[in-house]
Structure 1
Amino acid sequence: MKISATMVAAIGMAILTAWSCKKLSEKVEKEVLDGKRSGVSSIQGMVSYSWNNVAIGGGGYVTGMAIHPTTGNRMYARTDVGGAYRWDGTNQRWQPMLDGISSIRVDGMALDANAPDRVYLALNDGVYRSNDRGDNWTKVFSTTYNGNGDLRWAGECLAVDSLTSTVIYAGTRTDGLYRSTNTGTSWTKVATVPGSANVRIVATDPSSSVSGRSAKVYAGIPGGGIYRSTDGGMTFSAMSGAPASPNRMVVMGGKLYVAHSTGVTVWNGSTWTNITPASGMNKNYCGIAVESYDHNKIAVCQRYSTFNNPLYRSSNGGSSWEQINTTSLPITKTLEAPWWPNSWFSSATSCLVFDPLHHGDLYYSDWFGVWFSSNVWAAGNVAFTTRIKGDEETVVLTLASAPGTVPLYSGLADVFGFRHDNVTAYPSARLYNINEGFSISYCESQPANIAILGASGNDGTGTILATSSNSGTSWTTRTLPSGVKLGRICISSANPDKMVYIAGGSGGAVYYSTNRGSSWSAATGAPTGAVNAIDVWSKDFSITADCVDGDKFYIYKTGYLYASTDGGATWSQQNATAIPNKNSYLFVAARPGTADEVWVSLDGNGLYKTTNGGATFSKVTALTTCTAFAWGAPASGSATPTLFAYGTVGGVKGMYRSTNLGAGWDQIDNGTQKFPAGVKSLAGDRTVFGKVYVGTGGRGVLYGQP
C-alpha cells in the first residue's frame, strides 16, 4: 500500500496531537501534584503516618471492668469519654478498641463466658458486638445510652447468659429491658420490667436452668429496686425488700450480692441480709467483688468524689469486715506516672473485680485510672500499683508547640496539663498545680517565655494567670482584671512583657499589659465577647499575635478581624466585608515568619486567610470544612511552614498536611485513624517536619509522624 504525502502529513499531525495531549495531561497531573490547580484537585496523595498517644497516664474516669471467667488475658475496661480498652498481658498495657469507629462513650459492657473472644459494648447509639476481642465491631441494637451521664459508674447494663451465647440482655437508659435469643440479631422488649426504666444492672444466675438458659435473671433499676425472673427472662417481677437504688450486682454460688446507695446486701434465694460494714453504715457503695474460688471472700468500696474512699475486705461472707486503707493499716502504693499525687487512691470508685484465674488479684477502677493488688488478702499492709500504661483518657482543652524548645505543652481538663519534653515518657510533674488548663501562649522570638490561664473549677472558678521565663520550670502568679474569669491569653511575638487578655463571657472585655501581667488596662475599640465562654470547654480561640511585629495583635469576632498596632491598647476593625461566622470551633493563628498574615478556621464554614492584616480575605477552597489547623516546621530546604488541618477535602473528612500554604493537601490519617473522641486542638511541631499533635475530647493527645 502506497502512502501519499497528504497521508504522511495527516499521520504526523495525529502523532503530534497525541504527543501534545500526553504532555498536557502530564502537565495537568504535575500541577495537581504541585497543588497549583486546586480547581482540578487539591489532594496530592496519602502520606503514611504512624499514630501514637503522647504518654500522660490515666487521668480520666474508668467506669467499669470485666474479666473473662475461664480464659486468661481477657480483661477489659470502659471509660466515660475515652472509649474501651483491652488488656495486653504480654506487654502489660491497655490497648484502645474503638479508635476506628465513630462512637466512643461507653455505658456498659459484657463478656460471653462461652466465647472468650466475644465482647459487647453499650455505646451512645446502641449495642455493639465484637467477635475478635475488639478489633472489629458490628452494631446489633440501636438505642440511646449516655456513657458520660449520671450513674455511668453503675452496671453492667449488658449481660450474656452464663449458660448460652445466644441469650443477651440489654438494659437501657429510658426504655426498660430488652432481650435477644439469637446472639443479638433481633431484640424483644421485656414487658414486665417498667417500660421507661433506667435499667443499669443486669445479672444472670446459672445455678438453675430452663430450656438451656439461666432460669434466674436480675435487673437493677437505681431508684426503682431490683426485678427478678425465674423463667429464663420471659417474665420479671419486683423483689420485695430489695435495695431501692442498686449500683452493682454480682451473682456467685447462687447468691446475689448488691452494692447500693445505703450499703451492701446479699440475697440467698429466699431472704435479704444486710452485710454492710459496721463502720460504714448508710453510705453509698458501688464497688463489689466476690472471689470465684471462695465465695466467703468479698471486697466492697464506697463511692464518693473524695479521695481514699473506704475499701473493705471480708473473709467470712460479710459477717465482719476490715478496712484496708486506714491510718493504722495504710496501703502501699506504687505510681507508674510520677506526676500522680500520692493522694489519688479510691476516688469516685466505680468497680471492683477479682481475677477468677488468679486468687487474690483485685482490680478496681476510679476517677483517674485502674489500680491492682496481687494479694488483697495479705496480712498487714496491702500493696497496690496503678495499671495505667496505655490508658490515655484525658480531655484536651488546648495545645501549643514552641519553636526550638519544648516540643509540646498541653492544657487539659481535671489535671491542668503538662510540659512534654519526651512524648514517649510520662511527665515528671503537672505544668501547674490547679485543675483546668485552658489557654497557653508563648513568645515567638523568645519561646521560653510562656503564659497560662487555669482555673480550679470547670466553670472558671478561681481563674489564674501565671507566667514563666524558663519554659514552665518555675512560675510567677500574676494578676487579672477584677471580676473576670476564663478567656484567652496572648503574648507579643517580640516582647514577653506585652500581653493581651480577653475575658470570658458574652460581654468579656479586652485588656492589655505592658509589665507581664502585673497590672492591666482596658483596651479601646476591641470587640467584646470574642471568647464567649461559660466553662473551660469554650471553642473560641479567637486571638493571635503577629509573628513578626511585636506590637500587633489580632482578634476575630463574628466575621470581622480586629487589629491592634500598639500592643493591644487600641483596636480597629480591618475588613469591611465580613467573612462567614464560625460554625462551631474557631481558631485564629498568624503565619510564622511573615508579618500581617493571619488564618482563621471556622469549622463547617472552612478556612480563610489574609495577607494584608485583615483588609481582605480569601478562602482556602480545597477545605470545605476546617475544625482546627496549626503551623509546623517547614520541609527540608524550604522556608514555608507546614500547615496541618482537620477538615474535609474532596468530600473526605480527615487529617491533612500542606507544604504549599493550602494549595494542595496530603491526607495523613491513613484513612483509618478516625479520632472518635473528636479533634479539639492541633499543634504542629515547630522543630520536626511533619510531626503533628492532636488534642482529643477523651483519648488524650495523639501524635502523628511520617
Structure 2
Amino acid sequence: MPPTPHFSRRALLAAGASAAAFPLLGPTASARAASARTATSARCAPYTFRNAEIVGGGFVPGIIFNQSEPGLVYARTDIGGAYRFDTAAKRWIPLTDWIGWDEYGHTGIISIATDEVDPDRVYLAAGTYTNPDWDPNPAAILRSSDRGRSWQTTRLPFRLGGNMPGRGIGERLAVDPSGNRILYLGVRGGYGLWRSTDYGKTLAQVTNFPNVGNFTPDPTDTSGYSNDNLGVLQVLFDKRTGKAGRATRTLYVTVADTDNILYRSTDAGATWARVPGQPTGYIPHKAVFDHVGGYLYLATSNTAGPYDGSKGDVWKLDTANDTWTCISPVPSTSDNDTFGYSGLTIDRQNPNTLMVSTQVDWYPDCILFRSTDGGASWTRAWDWGTYPDRTLRYDMDISTAPWLAWNASPSLPEMAPKLGWMMESVEIDPSDSGHFLYGTGATIYGADNLTDWDSGATVHLTVRAQGLEETSVGCVISPPTGAAHLFSGVGDVGGFRHTDLHKAPKMYDTPTFGATPALDYAQLAPHVIVRVGSPTSGWTQHFAISTDSGDTWTPSGSEPSGVTGPGVDDQAVAVSADGKRIVWSPAGAPVSWSSDSGATWTASTGLANGVPVRSDRVNPAKFYAYDAGVFYVSTDGGNRFTATAATGLPTSGNVRFKPAPGHEGDIWLAGGTSKSTTPTPYGLWRSTDSGASFTRSDAVDEGDVVGFGKAAPGASYPAVYTSSKINGVRGIFRSDDAGRSWIRINDDRHQYAWTGNTMTGDPRVYGRVYFGTNGRGVIYGDTK
C-alpha cells in the first residue's frame, strides 16, 4: 500500500526491549533478493533516470556541514530523502533513491550525522511517521562508509517522525568527535536516548538518562500526528574533553520538557545531571557549542514547529560557571516577540559571531539576526523603514527557480520572494565565514559574501537547491503536440509546464494553485488542457483551461454548487477526446460536466460524489468512472453514467485506470490492496469493450498505476508503462506488446520508494517514461 501523501503522520516497542541491542539487518537484503529473482522472472532494459528540474519544492529542515573537511555538506528533507553536495558540479546528489516500495517511510529523514574523524562515514535516522497506519515499518539507522554511495541498515524497535511536528529540531543524531565509533540518537515517543559503540551497527538505550521528555504539540489529537512526545532532541559534545580514539567526557543533551531542557554528563555518559539555573517555559530547538570559548548557545520556542511558533528566547550558557544569559534579539518578554527561534549557528572561524532565525514569522517575513559580539547586540537581515517600507541587507536571485515568487504581487510590507519560512536550519560554513546556507519550507538559499553584512554591504542570496528535488507529485501528462513534453501537478507548489526538462519553469498561473491533483488533455485536440487545484495567491477558482497547449490559462466562470476542493487524485477531471466536454469530480459537489469550458456546469447522474473519472481517447462522447469495484460508462458526454457488468475488480485500495490512446474502449485498470484487514484483488486488468468486462494480467501480482507512450518501432500498440510487482519483482516496467511480456526498466539503485500515484509515457519519444514520487519530484527515464 502507498503512503498517506505528504502531510501524514506512533510507536512500538516490546516490553523490556529498550535495554537490548539491535543488530544490523543487512544493507539492501531485500533488494539483493529482488535482483536475484529479476534474472529469472523479468527481462531488464538499460535506462537512465533523472529529475525533470523544479529545483527544491519542499521543506529542508537540516543542513549539516562536516566539521573537518571543507566542502563536505549534507541536507535532509522531510519526505524526500538525503543529499550530499557536489562542490564541482554545484549540485546536490540524491543518496536515498535505492529505498524501495516496501520501506518507503525511510525517505523521511529526521537527522543526519557526518563523522569529522572519518569524513567518509555518514549516518541517517530514517522514518517518516510514528503512526503505523501511515508508515508500517519501524525506523532505521542508515549508515554509509563511502559518503552515501552505498548503505547498510540497522533496524530500530521504534518509529521516528521525519515528517511530523518537531522535525526541524536538532540534529538528533551525533557522532562523538573523539571516539567516532560512538553514535548517539535522541528519540521521540518516550524511548529516550540511544547509543551505539560500534559505528551504528547496534544501538541500545542509555537507560540511566533521566528524562524521556514530555512535550506533545497537541495532546488532544487522536490521529497520531500531533499527540506524540517529542522526546530527546539533541546531543552536543565539548571537544575540549576528548582524546583521539576515546569517548568525549563532557556532553550535553536537550529534551522536550519546558521545565527541564538541558542535561550534562562529565563522565562520557555514565551519569547525568540537570544543568543548574537553566531557563524554563520553552522547548529547545537548536543548540550549538563553542569549543573555543566554552559557551553553549540555545534557541527556544513555545511550539514544536515547523509551521508555528509565537514566543521564544535565545540563551548563552558559560559552561565554566553555569551562568546563563538571555541574548534574545527580541526577548519573549517584549510585545514585539511574535515568533520562536530555531535556526542557530556560529562562525567556527570567529566563534563570537553567531546567527539565529525566527522559527516562523509569516507576516511580513521571517528574520535572520546576526551578532559579532557573542549575542550582546544584533543586526537584522531586514528592518523597518517608514512603514510599510522595509530596508534590506540582502538581495535575492531566484532566476534558477522562478516559481519561488509564487506568482505573487503582494503589497508592502510583504515582498515576493520572501526571505523564507520554516527556517529551522541556518548554517555558516565552518571553513568559510563568507559562505552560509539556510533551508526554508521550499528550498535552500545561500550566499558567499556573508561577512559583507557586518560592513553594511548587501549580502547576495541565491537559490542553492540545484539537484535537490523534493515535491510530492499528484499527476503527470505528456501531450502528443505542443512545445511542452511534460505537464505536472505538484503538492504545495502548484505544478509546471516543462518545455526544457533540465530547467525549472515558472509555476502555472491564472489561477495559481497551491496543489494540482489532476490534469488532462484532449487526445484529438491536445492544445486543450484542463487542470484542477487548490487556489492560492488571492484566487478562488479550482478549475482552469488552456486552449494553447498550456501557454495561457483561463479560470472557470463558475463551479458546481458545493465545491470544497479540486478532487482527490489525478482522476478528478477529464476532457473529451475532441476537447469540447469536461467532466469534473470535485470534492463536496456532484460529478458534473461542462460543454462551455467551465462557464456552466450540470450534475451528472448515476455516480456518487468524488469518484474517479476518465475520458475515452477516441470517442468524444465516452467517459468512464470507477467506484468500489463497479465500473461505469457514459456514452453521452458525461451526462449519465451506468454501471457495466464487469466483475472481479478491486473494491478497496488505491485504484487507477486509464484508457489507451488510439483504441476506443481500451482501458487498463491497476490497484487493490493486500492489507490483511481489507484484502481485495490487487493487480492489473484490461478491458477492450469499454469496461463491460476486464481480464486480469496473470504476470502482475500487484498493479498500482499505468501509462502509455510512443509505440516501439514496428509496433502498432502504444508502449505500456506500469509501477507494479510483476512475477515477484517490484519495479517500473514497460511492455511493447500490449502486456504479453514485460521488461523491468529501473534497477535497485533507482527505486524512488513509492511510485504508485501517476505515470505516463511520452507519445513523441519511444522508451521515455515520466512518473511522480512522494518526495523526489518528477522522474523521467530514457533508454540508454
Is TM-score (shorter-chain normalized) higher than 0.5?
Answer: yes
- Which is worse superposed, 246-255 or 195-204? 195-204
SS of the aligned residue for 2:513 comes to: coil
Matched, 1:562 2:598: no
> Which residue is equivalent to 1:320?
377
Hey, what's the Cα distance between the residues in 2 that align with 1:186 and 1:581?
42
Matched, 1:61 2:59: yes
> Which residue is equivalent to 2:604?
523
> Which residue is equivalent to 2:516?
437
- Which is worse superposed, 200-209 or 659-668? 200-209
Paired residues of 2:339 and 2:361 also in contact (CA < 8 A): no
> Which residue is equivalent to 2:661?
592
Q: TM-score, normalised by structure 1?
A: 0.89
> Which residue is equivalent to 2:297?
257
Once the two structures are TM-superposed, the CA of residue 218 in structure 1 deviates from its matched residue by 1.4
Paired residues of 1:463 and 1:486 also in contact (CA < 8 A): no
> Which residue is equivalent to 1:481?
560
SS of the aligned residue for 1:377 comes to: helix
Once the two structures are TM-superposed, the CA of residue 600 in structure 1 deviates from its matched residue by 1.2
Hey, what's the Cα distance between the residues in 2 that align with 1:640 and 1:544?
20
Once the two structures are TM-superposed, the CA of residue 363 in structure 1 deviates from its matched residue by 1.2
Higher strand share: 1
Partner amino acid, structure 2, of 1:697: N
Please provide the CA RMSD for this pair: 2.1
> Which residue is equivalent to 2:360?
304
> Which residue is equivalent to 1:15?
none
Matched, 1:343 2:360: no
Hey, what's the Cα distance between the residues in 2 that align with 1:615 and 1:69?
65
Once the two structures are TM-superposed, the CA of residue 585 in structure 1 deviates from its matched residue by 2.2
- Residues 28-67 of structure 1 aligned to structure 2 (within 5 Å): 45-67=43-65
Matched, 1:123 2:137: no
Paired residues of 1:603 and 1:628 also in contact (CA < 8 A): no
SS of the aligned residue for 2:119 comes to: strand
- Equivalent of residue 160 in structure 1, options 144, 168, 175: 175
> Which residue is equivalent to 2:701?
624
Q: TM-score, normalised by structure 2?
A: 0.80
> Which residue is equivalent to 2:195?
179
Paired residues of 1:263 and 1:281 also in contact (CA < 8 A): no
Cα pair distance change 1:428/1:503, threshold 3 Å? closer
Hey, what's the Cα distance between the residues in 1 that align with 2:730 and 2:652?
16
> Which residue is equivalent to 2:234?
201
- Residues 7-156 of structure 1 aligned to structure 2 (within 5 Å): 45-102=43-100, 103-124=106-127, 125-140=139-154, 142=156, 143-156=158-171
Partner amino acid, structure 2, of 1:498: R
- Equivalent of residue 232 in structure 1, options 265, 268, 271: 268
Once the two structures are TM-superposed, the CA of residue 677 in structure 1 deviates from its matched residue by 4.6
> Which residue is equivalent to 2:478?
401
Partner amino acid, structure 1, of 2:248: S
Paired residues of 2:433 and 2:451 also in contact (CA < 8 A): no
Hey, what's the Cα distance between the residues in 1 that align with 2:541 and 2:652?
27
Partner amino acid, structure 1, of 2:58: G
Hey, what's the Cα distance between the residues in 2 that align with 1:585 and 1:248?
40
Once the two structures are TM-superposed, the CA of residue 583 in structure 1 deviates from its matched residue by 4.5
Paired residues of 2:211 and 2:255 also in contact (CA < 8 A): no
- Residues 377-396 of structure 1 aligned to structure 2 (within 5 Å): 377-378=451-452, 379-380=455-456, 381-396=458-473
> Which residue is equivalent to 1:513?
594
Paired residues of 1:300 and 1:352 also in contact (CA < 8 A): yes
> Which residue is equivalent to 2:728?
651
Hey, what's the Cα distance between the residues in 1 that align with 2:740 and 2:359?
54
Once the two structures are TM-superposed, the CA of residue 476 in structure 1 deviates from its matched residue by 1.2
- Equivalent of residue 531 in structure 2, options 425, 434, 452: 452
Partner amino acid, structure 2, of 1:164: G
Once the two structures are TM-superposed, the CA of residue 434 in structure 1 deviates from its matched residue by 2.1
Hey, what's the Cα distance between the residues in 2 that align with 1:681 and 1:242?
51
SS of the aligned residue for 1:339 comes to: helix
Cα pair distance change 1:141/1:114, threshold 3 Å? farther
Paired residues of 1:60 and 1:393 also in contact (CA < 8 A): yes
Residue deviations 1:127-177, cap 9 Å, x none? 221111011112235132110010101111011112111221111112010
Cα pair distance change 1:428/1:529, threshold 3 Å? closer
Residue deviations 1:389-414, cap 9 Å, x none? 10100110111111122311100011
> Which residue is equivalent to 1:218?
252
Residue deviations 1:28-83, cap 9 Å, x none? xxxxxxxxxxxxx9956211000001111111100101111111231000000110
- Equivalent of residue 777 in structure 2, options 671, 696, 700: 700
Once the two structures are TM-superposed, the CA of residue 452 in structure 1 deviates from its matched residue by 0.7
- Equivalent of residue 276 in structure 1, options 307, 310, 328: 328
Residue deviations 1:502-555, cap 9 Å, x none? 1326xx52211121211111122x220443xxxxxxxxxx22111111011010
- Residues 363-382 of structure 1 aligned to structure 2 (within 5 Å): 363-378=437-452, 379-380=455-456, 381-382=458-459
Identity in percent? 31
Paired residues of 1:42 and 1:649 also in contact (CA < 8 A): no
> Which residue is equivalent to 1:21?
none
Cα pair distance change 1:691/1:582, threshold 3 Å? farther
How many residue pairs get aligned? The number is 649
> Which residue is equivalent to 1:333?
396
Hey, what's the Cα distance between the residues in 2 that align with 1:600 and 1:530?
18
Matched, 1:504 2:587: yes
> Which residue is equivalent to 1:355?
429
Partner amino acid, structure 1, of 2:599: S
Paired residues of 1:490 and 1:544 also in contact (CA < 8 A): yes
- Which is worse superposed, 410-419 or 468-477? 468-477
- Residues 405-420 of structure 1 aligned to structure 2 (within 5 Å): 405=482, 406-420=484-498
Partner amino acid, structure 1, of 2:327: I
Hey, what's the Cα distance between the residues in 1 that align with 2:725 and 2:289?
50
Hey, what's the Cα distance between the residues in 1 that align with 2:160 and 2:495?
30
Paired residues of 1:339 and 1:428 also in contact (CA < 8 A): yes
SS of the aligned residue for 1:215 comes to: coil
- Structure 1 unaligned blocks of 5 or more: 1-40, 532-541
Once the two structures are TM-superposed, the CA of residue 419 in structure 1 deviates from its matched residue by 0.5
Once the two structures are TM-superposed, the CA of residue 463 in structure 1 deviates from its matched residue by 5.6
- Which is worse superposed, 657-666 or 636-645? 636-645
- Structure 2 unaligned blocks of 5 or more: 1-38, 101-105, 128-138, 215-230, 302-311, 384-389, 406-415, 674-681
Once the two structures are TM-superposed, the CA of residue 239 in structure 1 deviates from its matched residue by 2.5
